[in-house]
Amino acid sequence: MTTTMEESDVNLDDEPIDEIDLRLAILSRGPRLYSTRRLVEEAKKRGLNPYVADPMKFSLFVADGRIDILHNGEPFNYDAVIPRIGHSITKHGVAVLRHMEQLGIWTANTGSGILKSRDKLHASQILARNRIPVPRTTYVRDIIDVETAVDFVGGLPVVIKVTQGTQGQGVFLRHTIREARNLVQGLLLTGRSILIQEYIAESHGKDIRALVVGDKVVASMRRRARGREFRSNYHLNGTVENVDLPKEFEEAACRAARVLGLHIAGVDLLESTNGPLVLEVNSSPGLEGIEKASGVNVAGEIIDYVTSETAFSEVDLDQLLRTVPGAGVLSLQIRNHPVLVGQPLASLFNSNVEIPVFALSRDNSLLWNPSDELQLRYEDVLICYGELTELRSSLRQAMLEVPQQAFDIPSSEETNA
């Protein structure tokens, strides 16, 4: 249940709180910024003593068989961190986070998740691949591609943006081919990577920001641009208001954050005539606008999530399983091998090989340890673990439609018969 700021203040002031045995750090260059101050404030109300650490003041050490980390020359002994890493220090901030992850420190967002969300092209690729609706988008590397790109996204006007940017910076609306071509040419000359994106007329000057914490939307708001500005960002003097988020919008926001690997995210959604479109996912969402618009204690929701989840750390399963010599994880996308559609799972493996399937991804869900009689579908993705050479051999045989019996090794009795 989402808690409003007023309810949270009353409950926390009236009841004494025992100190929680959790060493929490907040990675932020701006201890006086609203979002950082609110996180510190809510953490203290819950008996924590949070430490605000500047990401630029870490030293990372790698030696034979061990790694270490210092902050301001002192040991960094914390159980969990909430990263508030700005765009300008993404590369260094992610390096610090990855180091912490290798040390077993719990992080509210991983370095990998932050990188994926900050590259707008990569994020769009992941979202689209997972059937999450996004505006039509093209990646442009040459001025001669502009007209083709405009046609692909549905014609003029178009939104032109750089792949790296925040708070509406590097986002432009252009109404003619000449304007679009001139802008793209100028941006390319500065070394920027360019996206041309579909313009959603019915959502001009407004969008919805959904704040995802864990696996739920804890607060949402509608943002509106002022005057002739089409970008609705709060930092561009846009207005904000509370909004009751329809279920399909909430599901799109949660799925977008999840597939990008983010536990805390601000998901920007456009209201199109065909339903929600995920425009962007922010890994360090500002809290000021959404707390004021919604009345929800978002900072408190984040701290509560952190304190409840730090006992469970995520692992790179493939990396972990590869510590066993010769073993690892393989995935097989059935769409790339249509000959397998309709075949039972058992047909993929030699009869003398135990079926090593972990899970089968189907219709946005995972079927764990599926039956060997389950028939494969076009959109299925198979995830299996085992001895890699043996796995690859079995799967290649199945793709070639060679009867498995032909590859079975005969017993000594059969040989001598």
Question: Residue 415: inside a domain, yes or no?
Answer: no
**Residue 412 neighbours by CB under 8 Å, 6+ apart:** none
End-to-end CA distance of the chain: 71
- d(CA 218, CA 211) in angstroms, rounded, equals 6
**Are 33 and 95 part of one and the same domain?**
yes
Residue located via tokens 């109300």: 45
Residue at which a domain ends, from 309, 335, 350? 309
**Are 111 and 36 part of one and the same domain?**
yes
- d(CA 320, CA 211) in angstroms, rounded, equals 32
**Are 16 and 110 part of one and the same domain?**
yes
Residue located via tokens 């502009």: 146
Q: What is the CB neighbour count within 10 angstroms for residue 47?
A: 14
- d(CA 40, CA 299) in angstroms, rounded, equals 9
In 334-411, DSSP assigns E strands to 357-362, 365-368, 381-387
- d(CA 238, CA 28) in angstroms, rounded, equals 25
Residue 147 vs residues 194, 196, 252: alpha-carbon distances, Å = 14, 10, 31
Residue at which a domain ends, from 199, 229, 244? 199
Question: Residue 174: inside a domain, yes or no?
Answer: yes
Q: What is the CB neighbour count within 10 angstroms for residue 350?
A: 17
pLDDT of residue 11: 43
Two tokens at 74? 């002192």
Total structural domains within the chain? 4
pLDDT of residue 231: 65
**Are 349 and 376 part of one and the same domain?**
yes
**Are 248 and 276 part of one and the same domain?**
yes
**Are 219 and 285 part of one and the same domain?**
yes
Question: Residue 128: inside a domain, yes or no?
Answer: no
Residue type, 74: E
**Are 302 and 252 part of one and the same domain?**
yes
**Residue 34 neighbours by CB under 8 Å, 6+ apart:** 286, 287, 288
**Are 177 and 220 part of one and the same domain?**
no
**Are 107 and 18 part of one and the same domain?**
yes
Question: Residue 47: inside a domain, yes or no?
Answer: yes
pLDDT of residue 7: 53
Question: Residue 130: inside a domain, yes or no?
Answer: no
CATH number (domain holding residue 379)? 3.30.70.1450
pLDDT of residue 348: 82
Low-confidence stretches of the chain (pLDDT beneath 70): 1-20, 165-168, 227-237, 313-322, 351-355, 401-417
**Are 209 and 293 part of one and the same domain?**
yes
Q: Are the beta carbons of 250 and 271 closer than 8 angstroms?
A: no
Q: For residue 114, how far is the Cα from the chain centroid?
A: 7
Question: Residue 129: inside a domain, yes or no?
Answer: no
CATH number (domain holding residue 112)? 3.40.50.20
Question: Residue 131: inside a domain, yes or no?
Answer: no
- d(CA 3, CA 285) in angstroms, rounded, equals 19
**Are 361 and 302 part of one and the same domain?**
no
pLDDT of residue 168: 57
**Are 213 and 195 part of one and the same domain?**
no
pLDDT of residue 298: 98
DSSP notation for 38-64:
HHHHHHHHTT---EEE-GGGEEEEEET
Q: Are the beta carbons of 77 and 22 closer than 8 angstroms?
A: no
Between helix 120-129 and helix 247-259 the angle, nearest 10°, is 110
CATH number (domain holding residue 160)? 3.30.1490.20
Decide: helix, strand or coil at residue 248.
Answer: helix
pLDDT of residue 14: 41
Burial class of residue 215, CB neighbours in 10 A (0-12, 13-18, 19+): exposed
Two tokens at 380? 């299925």
Question: Residue 251: inside a domain, yes or no?
Answer: yes
Task: Convert the pLDDT of each residue in 266-316 to its tens digit.
Answer: 999 999 999 999 999 999 999 999 999 999 999 999 999 999 998 776 666
Residue at which a domain ends, from 265, 280, 309? 309
* Nearest residue to 393 via CA among 382, 404, 383: 404
For 95, the domain range is 5-116
CATH number (domain holding residue 244)? 3.30.470.20
Task: Convert the pLDDT of each residue in 125-140 to its tens digit.
Answer: 999 988 999 999 999 9
